[in-house]
């Protein structure tokens, strides 16, 4: 394979000249910075990179990247990105959605993009609220949430985005958060390297309409005791000194324990590459909300045939078997007759 050398770039090369217009203090700034700083290290080219978004605060993202970009319509970014990725395998396509965008109005496109395994990096900035419409509950808001549209509290059961993605046959599922640049970059880098649809949920703070939603787990003081880092092949342990861990009971349920109570050998080792999604699913159910210890990192990363490549393969096979299409022949593929 011949490779054209990728020019060295810096964050500045990846930043557009547009003034960033999120609310001061929004978690989106951290995510944007993490990505702009990460891009030079991915070994990709600006002109081959496309950011596609829907509608919502998160969806302004493409305007701030000095790449190709489409700010489309609410919920539909995965469908537009699918057509693009299916016809342009040479491109790196990133899809930026909010929780309402990806999981409410665009829920159908989200799950189908995942099951098809089309090569997209789908990042969902989950702030558990509708920001751009000024504060209604979202499909990830906790039951009972009081918002402008739920003055008596929300009666909706929220989605667990990780569980949903795994249930939708996703081949790559991860979670990170806006307070940890290094973790975001490591997670996004793995997503980018995945040949297929890669889904990353990013816990993101909306400091105007849902401030501190994740503080109890992502706040600096709480992280070590509340975030459970998932690293493939490593025991699932957390806490200041790794004093807590996860075990799997004989009935399959996962349980958080003191390592000293069960012994190091009893601690579950993470296997993100397991064909069976059972463990990844169980890990996604370990936390019942942002007040429980919550796994972050790559839940699942398995090899599965990529959609666009298969589509191209069928075209290539047909062309090899029948020869390149010829219009004159096509027009005579039904029984023809000649009039003198």
Partner 1 sequence: MEGGPPVTEKLDRVVVRFAGDSGDGMQLTGDRFTTASALLGNDLATFPDYPAEIRAPAGTLGGVSAFQVHISDHDISTHGDSPNVLVAMNPAGLKASIDMMEHGTVVIVNIDSFDERSLAKAGYAQSPLTDGSLHDYDVYEVPMTSLTQEVCKEVGVKPRDAERSKNFFALGLVSWLFTRPIEGTLAWIDEKFKKNELVAEANRRAFRAGFDFGETAELFHVRYEVTPAPFKGGEYVNITGNTALAWGLIAAAERSGLSLFLGSYPITPASDILHELSKRKEFGVRTFQAEDEIAGIGSALGAAYGGALGVTTTSGPGLDLKAEMIGLAISLELPLIIVDVQRAGPSTGLPTKTEQSDLLQALYGRHGESPLPVVAASTPAQCFDAAIEAARIAVTYRTPVILLSDAYLANGSEPWLIPDVDDLPSFSPDFADGPNAVDPEGSPTFLPYLRDPITMARPWAPPGAIGLEHRIGGLEKAVDAGSVSYDGANHEAMSMVRKERIAHIATDIPATALDDPSGSAKVCVVGWGSTYGALNAGVERVRAAGGEAAHVHLMHLNPLPADLGEVLSAYDTVLVPELNLGQLVTVLRATYLIDAIPLSKVRGVPFKAAEIEAAILSAIGETR
Nearest-angstrom CA–CA distance, 50 and 37: 16
Nearest Cα neighbor of 288 from 158, 175, 178 is 158
Rule CB under 8 A: is residue 248 a binding residue for partner 1? Answer: no
Return the number of the residue (59 or 301) whose C-beta is nearest partner 1. Answer: 59
Contact 275, 302 (CB under 8 A): yes
Using CB under 8 A as the binding rule, whether residue 337 contacts partner 1 is answered as yes
318 scored as a contact of partner 1 (CB under 8 A): yes
- Compute the least distance from the CB of residue 183 to partner 1, in Å: 28
With b for 16 or more beta-carbon neighbours within 10 A and e for fewer, the 84-102 pattern comes to: bbbeeeebbbbbbbbbbbb
Stretches 181-189, 236-244, 252-260, 314-322: which one binds partner 1 (CB under 8 A)? 314-322
Q: Is 8 in the site for partner 1 (CB under 8 A)?
A: no
Q: Does 240 bind partner 1 (CB under 8 A)?
A: no
C-beta of 40 vs 242, nearer to partner 1 = 40
The verdict on 340 binding partner 1 (CB under 8 A) reads yes
User: Which residues 17-76 are close enough to bind partner 1 by CB under 8 A?
Assistant: 18, 46-50, 52, 55, 62-63, 65-73, 76
Shortest separation between residue 210's beta carbon and partner 1, angstroms: 25
- Tokens representing 132 are 């751009």
Residue 19 CB, nearest distance to partner 1 (Å)?
10
165 with 172: CB under 8 angstroms? Answer: no
DSSP codes, 110-167? HHHHHHHT-S-EEEEEE-SSBTTTTSB--TTSPTT--BTTBTT---PPPP-HHHHHHH
Which member of 90, 240, 251, 276 binds partner 1 (CB under 8 A)? 90
Residue 251 binds partner 1, judged by CB under 8 A: no
- Whose Cβ is closer to partner 1: residue 86's or residue 186's? 86
Residue from 175, 162, 270, 179 nearest 222 by CA? 179
If the CB atoms of residues 1 and 328 are measured against partner 1, the closer one turns out to be 328
- Report the distance separating Cα 172 and Cα 122, nearest Å: 10
Nearest Cα residue to 226 out of 240, 213, 212: 240
* Residues in 100-119 that interact with partner 1 by CB under 8 A: 108-109, 112
Binding of residue 288 to partner 1 (CB under 8 A): no
- For residues 250 and 335, which CB has a smaller minimum distance to partner 1 in the complex? 335
SS3 200: strand
Distance CA 61, CA 20 (A): 9
Q: What is the x/- site pattern for partner 1, positions 189-218, by CB under 8 A?
A: ------------------------------
The tokens for 41 are: 């290290």
* CA 285-59-141 angle, 5° bins: 35
Shorter beta-carbon distance to partner 1: residue 13 or 195? 13
The Cα 105–Cα 99 span in angstroms is: 9
Question: Under the rule (CB under 8 A), what is the footprint of partner 1?
Answer: 16, 18, 46-50, 52, 55, 62-63, 65-73, 76, 78-88, 90-91, 108-109, 112, 311, 314-315, 317-319, 321-325, 327-328, 330-332, 334-340
């Amino acid at each position: 394979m011949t490779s054209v050398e990728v020019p060295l770039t810096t964050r500045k090369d990846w930043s557009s000249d547009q003034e960033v217009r999120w609310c001061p203090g929004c978690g989106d700034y951290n995510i944007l910075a993490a990505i702009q700083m990460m891009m030079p290290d991915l070994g990709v080219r600006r002109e081959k990179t496309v950011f596609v978004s829907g509608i919502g605060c998160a969806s302004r993202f493409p305007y701030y990247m000095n790449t190709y970009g489409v700010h489309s319509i609410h919920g539909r970014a995965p469908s537009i990105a699918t057509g693009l990725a299916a016809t342009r395998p040479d491109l790196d396509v990133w899809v930026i959605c909010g929780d309402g965008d990806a999981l409410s109005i665009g829920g159908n496109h989200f799950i189908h993009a995942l099951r098809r395994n089309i090569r997209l990096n789908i990042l969902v900035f989950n702030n558990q609220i509708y920001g751009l419409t000024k504060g209604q509950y979202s499909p990830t808001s906790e039951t009972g949430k009081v918002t402008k549209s739920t003055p008596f509290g929300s009666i909706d059961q929220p989605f667990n985005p990780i569980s949903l993605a795994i249930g939708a046959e996703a081949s790559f599922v991860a979670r990170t958060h806006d307070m940890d640049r290094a973790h975001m970059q490591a997670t996004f880098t793995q997503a980018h390297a995945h040949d297929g649809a890669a889904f990353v949920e990013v816990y993101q703070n909306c400091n105007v309409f849902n401030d501190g939603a994740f503080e109890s787990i992502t706040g600096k003081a709480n992280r070590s005791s509340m975030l459970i880092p998932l690293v493939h092949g490593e025991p699932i342990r957390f806490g200041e000194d790794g004093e807590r861990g996860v075990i799997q009971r004989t009935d399959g349920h996962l349980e958080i324990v003191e390592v000293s109570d069960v012994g190091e050998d009893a601690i579950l080792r993470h296997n993100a590459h397991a064909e069976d999604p059972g463990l990844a699913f169980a890990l996604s159910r370990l936390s019942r909300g942002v007040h429980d210890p919550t796994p972050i990192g790559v839940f699942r990363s398995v090899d599965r045939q990529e959609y666009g490549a298969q589509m191209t393969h069928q075209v290539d096979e047909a062309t090899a078997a029948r020869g390149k299409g010829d219009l004159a022949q096509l027009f005579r593929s039904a029984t023809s007759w000649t009039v003198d």
